[in-house]
Amino acid sequence: MERGQITHMTRKLLVTAALLGSASIAATASARPMTPEDVAKMESLGELVVAPDGNRVAFTTARLPDVTAGEDDGTTKQQLKLAYGPDSARAFLPEGMNVSGVQFSPDGRMVSFLYTAEDEQRAVWGIPVDGGGHRKLAEVADVDVRSYAWSPDGGTLYLLAGAAPDEARDKQADAGFDAVVYEEESRLNRLFSARVGETVDAAPQAVIIPGYVSGIQIAPGGATAIVESAPSPRVDDSYTSKRVHVIDLARGRVLQVVETPGKLGDVEISPDGRQISLIAGVDANDPAETTLHLADVATGEYRALNAGAPEATVDAEFLADGRLAAIVDVGAQSVLRIYGADGTMEREYDPGALILSDLEIGGETIAVEAHSPQHPPELYVVTDGQFTRWTRHNPWLADIDLGNQRTFTYTARDGQEIEGVLIEPVGRAPRGGAPTIFDVHGGPEAHEANGWQTGYSSPGQVAAGQGYAVFIPNYRGSTAYGTAFSKQHQGDYAGKEFDDLVDGKRALVEAGVADADRVGLTGGSYGGFATAWGSTYYSQEFAAGVMFVGISNNISKFGTTDIPNEMYLAHELKWPWEEWDHLLERSPIYHVDKAETPLLIMHGDSDPRVSPTQSYELYRHIKVRKPETPVRLVLYPGEGHGNARAASRYDYNVRMMRWFDTYLKTGDRDAPLPGPRPTLEIDAPTED
């Protein structure tokens, strides 16, 4: 269900855990615990790209408005910066310009990006690296450019844009006839070629493309392109039916299709244009795109390079000599791996405590995005296997007292080894164990790494600073331990996968980390499902729960989600009408009679993935059937499958921690509900 989260493999430890280079920052006289207000102002690396000659790196710093300091609410903004070495970064555009899609022109003399000027549509802009102002390079009339690609000679920009405006439909809507026909009114993207010159090409030429294209790369030579296409814009199709097509740019003719059978992730084309690397599923039932493949451009034939290995490929890029570099998550850690042009593994670089999450190459320079237990994502450059840090966001983290972080491995009741990431309370767990929060990832085809683990919905170091232990389990169904491990959850909703959580609790109690009577859990999406299950079926095990965009009824979930085919193919392997009773029995609403766990339920009211009605259902069942059990439902207007706005995120973090402080830290399941409006540390917005 949820995709694209970061994480890695098992070190064969058994109930005791190995410290993996994540010792906490030494306490100083000025050290203090982390707070939700710190999370609200956190910055991190956004996008990165390396110049063709490898001499500089363009990147963005991503941040939300700091609503705790009085800034106006909004979503993430990205500021363009340029770096030539460690700690050399400088802003490259006026403050306030929010950009995305950062690239270098083929000659490296210009940085290009997507930008929406006031009262205009999103277009491609550029700024010279050696001085000069930014200017518009290419646009499509009346619609936003969604992504773009340079031709190898730098003379043309290929623009992937939205469908043309429907003037008749817009006129009806303006008159109040704004009904929406569900799943029937989506329209396809369009591709255009625009000349790059002193002025903006006023008449870009249309290029025929197959289906709904979401990504494009121009092949060396400029005559063909590699496009990622699905049958429709529906999310379900993007998950299950997206394929790589090779097209002739002059005629729009499809020359070849790489018919991978399942999910499709990162796609890259080799410098000689003969090979494509793909991170994809090995079959239609593979829960995630984690296996690295090489495909022949001429024939479309493909082969896997690491099928069945207990790992997950995250990103890949070709080197100038045709070799292939890849980030591979191995359990809760990661490595940088180099493959020969023939697909044989040549060498592997261990980044130590770093978790690698993005890879870009230019010339001989390899740049990566990496985070660690001590910091969110930063820019690193790799030289002779050494990882050198180039950026330093959030310098105030030096003043934060962080809890010790390490991997923790235990054996489940059936003998399966399970790994997770453990953050100990600042100052370590007291005798008898600490109040402990299980932070359960979504998917379940995702995993969590032994890197930075604190965010608006992830208690992490905020909880550690308040005396909690936090455990982030890579339970059955997770990636980075091999496709077979990911498939262990299939056809078994809430079965072995959530038994793993209870077994993890017992292992942490035995290890002296957790207090058996004060273990709670939280999570979003499938992690919200886990929280709902732990608060009903396993209510005796968990003292408090915070459920986010979670599932409570597997029958109605199927009828209200935007990924029904993905649910069938990657998860349950049966349709609901084949197992009505089983699906109901594996739904939290069925077990509300057991619900004694105080449960805070939060959801975006515009979530298309897991309908907010899932939260309504569980709330109503508990409220009516178990009126003595504390339960609250909080809805975030306009938010979807996760909160995007700064105020929604900060509010969520404060509410989550307040709920755990009320019910988990105290161990008092009967405590009265906290007030509906938490105290927020916010300054009044400044007047213009």
Residue 397, SS3 per DSSP = helix
CA distance 173 to 527: 39
pLDDT digits (tens, 9 = 90+) for 14-41: 233 333 333 333 344 569 999 999 999 9
Name residue, tokens 């009679």: 593
Q: Report phi then psi at 369, rounded to 5.
A: -90, 135
Any long-range contacts for 373-376 (C-beta under 8 Å, 24+ apart)? 373/21, 373/22, 373/24, 373/402, 373/405, 373/450, 373/451, 373/452, 373/453, 374/22, 374/25, 374/402, 374/452, 375/452, 376/42, 376/43, 376/44, 376/45, 376/452
pTM for the structure as a whole: 0.93
Q: By the 8 A CB rule, do 240 and 284 touch? A: yes
- Dist. CA 252–CA 209, nearest whole Å: 6
Instruction: Read off the amino acid at residue 535.
Output: S
Give the separation between CA 504 and CA 355, rounded to whole angstroms: 23
195 half-sphere exposure, CB direction, 13 A CA radius: 6
Please report the pLDDT score of residue 131 as a whole number: 87
Residue-level pLDDT at 602: 98
Count of beta carbons in the 10 Å neighbourhood of residue 169: 12
Query: Which residue shows structure tokens 């909160």?
Result: 643
Mean pLDDT for each 10-residue chunk of the chain (688 residues)? 35 32 43 96 97 97 96 96 95 94 98 97 97 95 97 98 92 94 92 96 96 96 96 96 96 96 97 97 97 97 97 98 98 98 96 97 97 98 96 97 98 98 95 97 97 98 98 98 97 97 98 98 98 98 98 98 96 97 98 98 97 98 98 98 97 98 97 93 61
CA pair distance 417, 60, nearest whole angstrom: 39
At 685 the pLDDT is 55
Structure-block tokens of residue 585: 């029995």
Q: Which two tokens stand for residue 340?
A: 């020969």
CA 367 to mean position of chain CA atoms: 20
Q: Which pLDDT score is estimated for 24?
A: 38
